Structures are given as C-alpha cells and as structure tokens.
Amino acid sequence: MMLDRRTALLGLAGTAGSAHAAVKTPKGPGLILSEGPEGLWDSERASCPRVLRNADGTWSMWYYGRDPSFDDAYTLPTGRIGHARSKDGVKWERVRGPLTMGAVFEASPDQTRFDCGHVGVSGISREGDELVMWYFGGDHTVTTTPRSTSKGFPMRPGRATSRDGLNWTRTEGPYRGAMLDVGKPGEFDAVMVGWPHTLKEDDGSYKLYYHTLSAAEGFMACCAVSADGLKWEKVGPVLKKGPEGNFDQNGVGSRHVSKVQGRYVMFYEGNDGKWFGGIGLAESDDGLTFRRVKGPDRGGCVLAAPPRDSDRFDSHGIGTPWLVPDGAGFRLLCGRDQRGCR
C-alpha cells in the first residue's frame, strides 16, 4: 500500500448531534451520522459522505438520502441531498437547507430534465471562491438493468455550483441537462454514468471518474477527460472486476481518485456478486491505467465490512469511500449498505 500516512475509517450515515433537530443515537460503533429525525428529508436513509476540510479547520459534508414518503420504486438510497458541518470531523450537526424538509438539493421540477426523479451527490470540490458539486440522477423511467428492474435509470451526471453550500445552481449540460450521456445500446456504459467525481490536473485539465454496469463485465470504473471541466470525451473503463475469489470479483463501484505524492490513488467499493463487502485500493501513474494493491483484509480488500450479525453500522456492506487530508494524514469516510442499498 503506497500510502504511508495515517488512514482512518469514520463511517457515515447521520448525526451525532444537531443544532437544528433532535439528536438521534447512532447505531453501532464507528457511525458518525445516522438517519435524521422524523420530518427531515433524510429520516429514512443517509449515505455517501462527500467531505471538505475548510481553511479554518472545520469540516463540511454533503450526502444523499430520503424520507419514508419518497417513492420506493427508486431502489437506490438516493433521493435528495443535504448538508452537515463539524468542528472536528467526528461530531456533526445538520444544517437545514432551503428545500423540501431541509434538503439543499433535490430533483428538478422540470420534467424534461435527466434529473427530474431522484439525485445523489458524488463529488465536491472548491474552485476559486465556488463550491462545485458533481451529482447523478435519473428521471421517472423504469428500466431493467443487469441487476434488477428499477425506476430512475439510466442515470447521468450533473454539475452544480454554490457560494455557501446551501443554495445551488445547476450547470446546464447538453444531454437534457446532464454533462455526459450514457452510451448507446450495447456500449460499455449504456446502463448508467453513475457516481461521478472530478480531479483537476496541474495543467488545468480534468478527469471525470464514474462507474457503470454491464451483464458481461459487472461493475466497472471508467474515465472521461476534459480541457475545461464542461466538455467531456470518454476514455473508457480504467478498472474492471478482479480475479475469482477477490472481494471485487464482480466489479468496481463507487470510488474516489486522489493525487497523493504525485501518483493517482483510487479507493473503491468492490462487489463479489452478492454485496459490496469491502473497500479496495488501486494506484496509477497516469490516472488511466490502474493496478490493484492487494490488501490484508478479506478477499484482498484494505477494509472489509464486519460480520453481518454484528452491531456495526456497516455490517450489511460498506462503500462510497471518500479520502480527506486532515493535516496529520488522511481520513477515509465510507457509507453503509443496508436493505440492499448503498
């Protein structure tokens, strides 16, 4: 493993305390944010932490979830997006947003857009004095994918900007508002361009990482490139499923690619054909060809989900990793997988 500085799992899913709502006790050790109280947008599910450390040492988080009234024909845990803040990156307070039940971002009311059904955050960065959020979403279409029949597919990537983290403006993309389209039938990413996030290079160009799913290849991590962060050209898959017996033998899902000591590092969730049971590590010299780093945990991962009969928040699976420098080293935040969701 090429990282020689500290990495730590913080977990995710809801609040350890809130200035805006009643405190809800986390379920199991390692959890820093659980589902919200009744009446909030995330009172049923909360997952996929996307975190920035601010210049003053405080922390900001965006994550997705839903309340019980959200249409459960959308079988992912997506729905709306919310915001939380922390002084230490461990104890979090929800910040109530201006949209439905306190959300800061939600499906578009424009029924012609790609994201009129559900949305989920997948990347956050600062560019100058703006926050840039990459998210994914779908409309009301019901589609049969290689895994199931679900509403809200195919999913495409969107971009939005904000000055305060609460009020967001969509960037109008060329594909019904999306920044990148899915592939044509039979192409590698025809099912979805999901969980996008970008990495800005030193020369000002961008790489956009996402994952897709095919019947033949399973889940695959893919890349697109851009000179300006707005117009994109697909490169193709950059990391496919691992060998038989690996924790990722059915593919690579949500991931976070960072530059560490001049090299590209990818933490990713692996699927063994049944569940997302571990976080893996891969590295690259160019950001386009990744090689696995065999980890010490189950099936070659660097961090495995605990036994399903344990009381840990992530005992039903672990995923959506996000690596954040904390001054002394790194923190690796992850989402959970429960009721078949991640």
DSSP calls for 15-57: -S--SSS-----SSTT-S--PPPTTSTTSSEEEEEEEEE-TTS
**Tokens for 224?**
């697109």
**Tokens for 329?**
């080293």
pLDDT in tens, 124-135: 999 999 999 999
- The backbone region for 291, taken as left when phi is positive above 0, alpha when psi lies in -120 to 50, beta otherwise, is beta
Q: What is the rounded CA–CA span in Å between residue 220 and residue 207?
A: 16
Binned at pLDDT 50, 70 and 90, residue 6 comes out as very low
Torsion of CA 236, 242, 243, 249, to 10 degrees: -110
User: Do residues 123 and 45 lie in contact, with contact meaning Cβ atoms separated by under 8 Å?
Assistant: no
For the chain, which residues make up each domain, given as ranges?
Answer: 45-336
Q: Is the pLDDT of residue 1 over 50?
A: no
pLDDT in tens, 280-300: 999 999 999 999 999 999 999
Binned at pLDDT 50, 70 and 90, residue 324 comes out as very high
- Average pLDDT score over the chain: 89
More confident residue, 153 or 30: 153
pLDDT in tens, 36-66: 999 999 999 999 999 999 999 999 999 999 9
Strands (E) located in 230-329:
233-239, 252-260, 263-271, 276-284, 290-293, 303-304, 318-325
Q: Is the pTM of this model over 0.85?
A: yes
User: 5-14, 78-87, 253-262 — which is least confidently predicted?
Assistant: 5-14
Q: Is the pLDDT of residue 30 over 80?
A: no
3-state secondary structure of 194: strand
Span 329-336, average pLDDT: 89
Start-to-end CA distance of the chain, whole Å, equals 26
Predicted pLDDT at 308: 79
Which CATH number is 45-336's, of 3.40.50.620, 2.115.10.20, 3.40.1190.10, 3.40.30.10? 2.115.10.20
* Widest CA span in the chain: 50
